[in-house]
A = this chain, B = another copy of it.
Amino acid sequence: MAVLFGRRRRRPGTEVPRLRSRGDAVSTTKVDLHELAPSTDEFLGQVAQLQLGFFLTLTAAVEGAPTEADRETLAGSAAATLVKYRDLVAAIRRRHDDTEPFLEPFAAQRDDFQAIVRGEDWGQLLLGVYVTRGFLDEFFAEVATGVDAADARELAPIVAPTPGEDPIVGILQRAIAADPKRGSSLAMWGRRLLGDTMLVARSALSTESRVLPDDSRVEPVYTELIANHTRRMDALGLTA
């Protein structure tokens, strides 16, 4: 685990909080993402669609922002997502003249998942993007290391999570400070999203064999991602 995710730690060498005590056992269990990783084509299609979905959702958030400064911040975040989507579609096009057959299969997941992420109001939507994009960007950056070696080198810079703190954090912190009662309901919303996000992540693995990988092999992959999810919620003062 330490090797698998170590390079994205903010402070290498420090102990990463673990949600499960069996995380320690994990470091001796080699998780081979080459066995679990989807084909490069499937990876590109799914991640492109997820990024497009986040772009559309973030743009919806731009419209509802309370100030022009927040609008600019969210537009910038949407732009970063759009760049990823376009880079991924360009990667499909380098492999195939017609991108449609590689994108279309993941269109329904894109829309269904974003319908969940958007929640019922602007606050839920923002937390939704923050939590689910944070998780999935880290997850897919990890999965990208498991596709064919030449492809992995090409894809790594495209799907690398944007460094530094998500600019959405500041907006969410102010929204929660302005209405502290919202904290507990948003905390519950964050927990609910985690489950749906993990289902999306799981759907990306081993789709070629059409056999879902069993839990004991996939869960180690999630352990650090869940710890990072907890840190994300902590940054908002919310209980994960």
Could you tell me which A residues sit within 8 Å of B by CB distance?
52, 55-56, 59, 62-63, 67-69, 71-72, 75-76, 78-79, 82-83, 85-86, 89, 99-100, 103-104, 107
Contacts and interface: CB of A to CB of B under 8 A. Distances in A.
B68 A100 contact: yes
A72 B59 contact: no
A79 B76 contact: no
Nearest to A101: B68
A52 B69 contact: no
A112 to B, nearest CB: 14
A143 to B, nearest CB: 21
Given A79-B86, A86-B79, A59 B55 contact: yes
A46 B120 CA distance: 32
- Please give me the 5 A-B residue pairs with the lowest Cβ-Cβ distance, nearest first: A68-B103, A59-B59, A68-B100, A79-B82, A72-B89
Contact of A75 (B55, B67, B71): B55
Nearest to A90: B72
Given A56-B59, A62-B56, A76 B86 contact: yes
